[in-house]
Amino acid sequence: EAGVTQSPTHLIKTRGQQATLRCSPISGHTSVYWYQQALGLGLQFLLWYDEGEERNRGNFPPRFSGRQFPNYSSELNVNALELEDSALYLCASSPLVAETYEQYFGPGTRLTVT
Amino acid sequence: AQRVTQPEKLLSVFKGAPVELKCNYSYSGSPELFWYVQYSRQRLQLLLRHISRESIKGFTADLNKGETSFHLKKPFAQEEDSAMYYCAPEFPNKFYFGSGTKLNVKP
């Protein structure tokens, strides 16, 4: 079974630009989650998509947005990039198992803003 | 507000010693609770979840509702247990991860 995939592996952008990160969930998983992991910090919850709908978002400004496509893949868009957006962005997917959300993670996209 | 705390950034033990990684959360309800692990150069993966009451790789986690804690324990640590461990309580529609504890098991 193929795992969660993310692209690109690395992304270098300039301050003020926009970044688009992509995630393909495990086949059969309908939920996709996005997390930011900045250096020295834990995972910060960004967004949760399920069945094409945004279910919840963390404490991030609106310039962080995304969407989920009919095939359940997802995009994370970060507009007006700031230096502090430099981080590892992790995507996870989950089925609904026994009414809890067990998450399977991708390898991450390293975003560097210069 | 919901919060999760892993008080130790780094925990070093010798092989064969018991290990306990602490996790405390603040929430008035009953969250579902998970531990995730990240071995060197591998992706983050689920270690165990409370609802399953299971032991994975010798690890168990006990929920103490009174203390709102979900500590991860193993009676005899192995070198291959060296990794980063994250406590992850699942509150209604919100997902939190602790800041992680790096476990270093020395030979």
Q: What pLDDT shows up at residue B100? A: 93
B4 vs A40 pLDDT, higher one: B4
For residue A98, the model assigns a pLDDT of 59
Give pLDDT tens digits for B52-76. 777 889 999 988 878 788 999 999 9
Contact B99 A42 (CB under 8 A): yes
The answer to whether A103 contacts B46, with C-beta atoms less than 8 Å apart, is yes
Residue with tokens 């009414």, as numbered in its chain: A99
| Residue A38 backbone dihedrals phi, psi, to 5 degrees | -80, 160
Q: Is the dihedral of CA B8, B13, B16, B18 positive or negative?
A: negative
CB-nearest to B90 from A35, A41, A101 is A101
* Whole-number pLDDT of residue B11: 97
Below-50 pLDDT ranges, chain B: none
Would an 8 Å CB–CB cutoff place B32 in contact with chain A?
yes
The CA distance from A84 to B4, in Å, is 23
Does the structure show a pLDDT above 80 at A97? no
Q: For residue A100, what is the DSSP state?
A: B
- If you average pLDDT over each of A54-58, A63-67, B60-64, B87-91, which comes out highest? A63-67
Picking from A89, A104, A105 by the largest number of B CB atoms within 10 A of its own CB, the best residue to mutate is A105
The per-residue pLDDT for B27 is 80
Per-residue model confidence (pLDDT) at position A100: 67
| A-B contacts at Cβ under 8 angstroms | 49
Distance CA B4, CA A26 (A): 28
